[in-house]
A and B are shown apart, each in its own frame.
Chain A
């Protein structure tokens, strides 16, 4: 796949992506763009390959076919040094937080910061305090991951993902397992991050409330056909998509009026 990206360069361009586990094809021929400052949602039924797609986007898995471009640069075919440079602009929050359990929350954030260059001690301390305050965990610098609740771990995971002021923030199921208020606060945080830091955010989720609240573009992965079911604004898709599976999903299985 040597398709040259469009002149209006998208933040992320995916061309003809096919994902496999061994011989089993998870999804084939995915084609989509994520634009600058998008809040882009990858949605679909459980087990359809949402997280697998995320792992391809961040380079943990290799595409069986097709390519992924970042700012027009071929991420799939580039050399390892170039690739590392691109990966350094990512921030990733894993499903269960994946905080390093032998480090405190403060250290979890300061370790990636220190790795990227020498920072004066006070600046580092201020940065850690600020990142934790953003996710509502001010004053938790010295707690270990085992000492905090699951929801707090998630938020700490987001603080760590934001540590290096990433260009692109990938969040794997950020709202799952959170109470409605925390989930709402998280949506708020994501919107503000996009608005004030210009971060492009990619979210894997199936929380409908969040999807309609924050996302401006969404990709639906269809389990039946093993390819993308729809791409567009989630509210439009809910009401006007020509794929019945998408309408069903976005209406929680009860399409309001239109028969399939």
Chain B
């Protein structure tokens, strides 16, 4: 494109001549040039004649302007039979306008239903919630069927996938789980020590840290870490496979995507979560022991006190809960991944939804367990 040597602004002048209108165009029409100056009233009919100044230069803004006017007239024209004329237009402009006005193959325009009214919004919201619940139930049902097939030997997935996922959500998660649970142990011990020292009972720091870690904190913290780490990874992985039509490809080869993709992930997390939780228990207690050492509880004493406080029941409660947390995280991650839309933007949304859903599910499950265990008096 030539540089703007002449700064004369683009001009469009409407002339009325009896019943006919004429559009006179001059100046430099450039999208990064000066603003357009329109003179005269814009008529609601097609111009009978165009006059393009011989010195006028233009980029796409001129045909865009002409097309917008023709469109506007077509939309309100009472006389649908009248057709725009291109009298006086140079050949190139004329060709472009004809092309732009050619009836497109997609003449049906897709309309989205008008959802502005409150009733509409309420209806849509209810439908959305209902679909959400249904797809969750569907998903859990499918997962159960898939497990059933695994038990009866009918499910097929690659063992390699299972071991890889196991490594991903097991060994590779150890550093972050260690760090977080150690710090949680340290924090609990500090806070507990400040309060218990008032009663001269700071030996009970060991009981506090031990029971809190084993019964609640290890399981919940590990679950939250795994939601962010592994749940998100599942959703992103399956979501991009969906966007790339890889899931459809699996289906057409006769693989059940559930058996092939969801099952190994679900199994890995269900196997790994209890192990990670037991590991987190140990690291958390070590954190408490370190603090105890500073506030005058020798490690040997701390250890004996912990052993006395933490019963096998307490330990099993924490471990049993973690199995359910693992299943919940895997289901949320895989479900959001498989339900993702077919675009790359949808992968991001699916990941966000998976993490939010997984953390919510973990906390809700934990509350439910708290109520159940209280009722059962354990």
Docked-complex contact A127 and B31, CB < 8 angstroms: yes
A146 nearest CB neighbor, chain B only: B343
Q: A120-B35, A192-B99, A196-B93 known; A126 and B65 CB under 8 Å?
A: yes
Judge whether A144 is part of the interface by a CB distance below 8 angstroms.
yes
Interface positions, chain A 130-146, Cβ under 8 Å from B, are 130-131, 133-134, 136-140, 143-146
One of B104-112, B249-257, B300-308 contacting the partner: B104-112
Q: A181-B105, A192-B99 known; A146 and B342 CB under 8 Å?
A: yes
Docked-complex contact B60 and A101, CB < 8 angstroms: no
Chain B residues near A131 (CB-CB < 8 A): 60, 64
Docked-complex contact A144 and B95, CB < 8 angstroms: no
Judge whether B140 is part of the interface by a CB distance below 8 angstroms.
no
Docked-complex contact A119 and B95, CB < 8 angstroms: no
Residue in A118, A136, A145, A192 whose beta carbon sits within 8 Å of that of B104 in the complex = A136
Chain A residues near B345 (CB-CB < 8 A): 101-102, 146
Docked-complex contact B105 and A116, CB < 8 angstroms: no
Complex CA–CA separation, A125 to B36 (angstroms): 14
Complex CA–CA separation, A17 to B300 (angstroms): 75
Chain A residues near B68 (CB-CB < 8 A): 122, 125-126, 129-130
Docked-complex contact B93 and A133, CB < 8 angstroms: no
Q: How far is the CB of B352 from chain A (nearest CB, A)?
A: 13
Judge whether A29 is part of the interface by a CB distance below 8 angstroms.
no
Complex CA–CA separation, A162 to B61 (angstroms): 13
Q: How far is the CB of B309 from chain A (nearest CB, A)?
A: 53
Docked-complex contact B1 and A137, CB < 8 angstroms: no
Docked-complex contact B92 and A195, CB < 8 angstroms: yes
Docked-complex contact A136 and B106, CB < 8 angstroms: yes
Docked-complex contact B343 and A101, CB < 8 angstroms: yes
Judge whether A4 is part of the interface by a CB distance below 8 angstroms.
no
Q: How far is the CB of B214 from chain A (nearest CB, A)?
A: 45
Q: How far is the CB of B66 from chain A (nearest CB, A)?
A: 9
Docked-complex contact B104 and A138, CB < 8 angstroms: yes
Complex CA–CA separation, A133 to B65 (angstroms): 13
Docked-complex contact A196 and B67, CB < 8 angstroms: no
Judge whether B63 is part of the interface by a CB distance below 8 angstroms.
yes
Q: A117-B32, A136-B105 known; A127 and B100 CB under 8 Å?
A: no
Judge whether B341 is part of the interface by a CB distance below 8 angstroms.
yes
Q: How far is the CB of B332 from chain A (nearest CB, A)?
A: 23
Q: In the complex, which range does the number of interface residues on chain A fall in?
A: 35 or more
Complex CA–CA separation, A169 to B63 (angstroms): 19
Residue in A119, A138, A146, A162 whose beta carbon sits within 8 Å of that of B341 in the complex = A146
Chain A residues near B1 (CB-CB < 8 A): 89, 165, 167
Docked-complex contact A196 and B92, CB < 8 angstroms: yes
Q: Mark A104-125, 1 if CB is under 8 A from B, else 0.
A: 0000000001001111101101
Complex CA–CA separation, A133 to B102 (angstroms): 8
- Among the interface residues A134, A140, A143, which one has the most CB atoms of the partner chain B within 10 A? A134
A164 nearest CB neighbor, chain B only: B31
Docked-complex contact A182 and B105, CB < 8 angstroms: yes
Complex CA–CA separation, A117 to B35 (angstroms): 12
Q: Mark B174-202, 1 if CB is under 8 A from A, else 0.
A: 00000000000000000000000000000
Docked-complex contact B343 and A144, CB < 8 angstroms: yes
Interface positions, chain A 176-197, Cβ under 8 Å from B, are 181-182, 185, 188-189, 192, 195-197
Chain B residues near A134 (CB-CB < 8 A): 96, 99-100
Residue in B32, B60, B342, B346 whose beta carbon sits within 8 Å of that of A130 in the complex = B60
Docked-complex contact B32 and A133, CB < 8 angstroms: no
Interface positions, chain B 336-366, Cβ under 8 Å from A, are 341-346
Docked-complex contact B32 and A119, CB < 8 angstroms: yes
Complex CA–CA separation, A134 to B96 (angstroms): 7
Judge whether A24 is part of the interface by a CB distance below 8 angstroms.
no
Residue in B91, B92, B101, B110 whose beta carbon sits within 8 Å of that of A197 in the complex = B92
Q: Mark A190-220, 1 if CB is under 8 A from B, else 0.
A: 0010011100000000000000000000000
Complex CA–CA separation, A129 to B72 (angstroms): 12
Complex CA–CA separation, A137 to B106 (angstroms): 7
Docked-complex contact B346 and A146, CB < 8 angstroms: yes
Judge whether B71 is part of the interface by a CB distance below 8 angstroms.
yes
Judge whether A257 is part of the interface by a CB distance below 8 angstroms.
no
Judge whether A23 is part of the interface by a CB distance below 8 angstroms.
no
Q: How far is the CB of A106 from chain B (nearest CB, A)?
A: 13
Docked-complex contact A113 and B31, CB < 8 angstroms: yes
Docked-complex contact A123 and B65, CB < 8 angstroms: yes
Complex CA–CA separation, A135 to B200 (angstroms): 82
Q: How far is the CB of A146 from chain B (nearest CB, A)?
A: 4
Complex CA–CA separation, A122 to B92 (angstroms): 23
Judge whether A147 is part of the interface by a CB distance below 8 angstroms.
yes
Complex CA–CA separation, A152 to B109 (angstroms): 13
Complex CA–CA separation, A3 to B229 (angstroms): 55
Q: How far is the CB of A198 from chain B (nearest CB, A)?
A: 8
The 5 A-B residue pairs whose C-beta atoms are closest, nearest first, are A117-B32, A196-B92, A130-B64, A136-B104, A133-B100
16 contacts between A and B (CB under 8 A): A89-B1, A101-B345, A126-B64, A129-B67, A129-B71, A130-B60, A130-B64, A133-B100, A134-B99, A136-B104, A144-B343, A146-B341, A146-B346, A185-B105, A195-B95, A196-B91
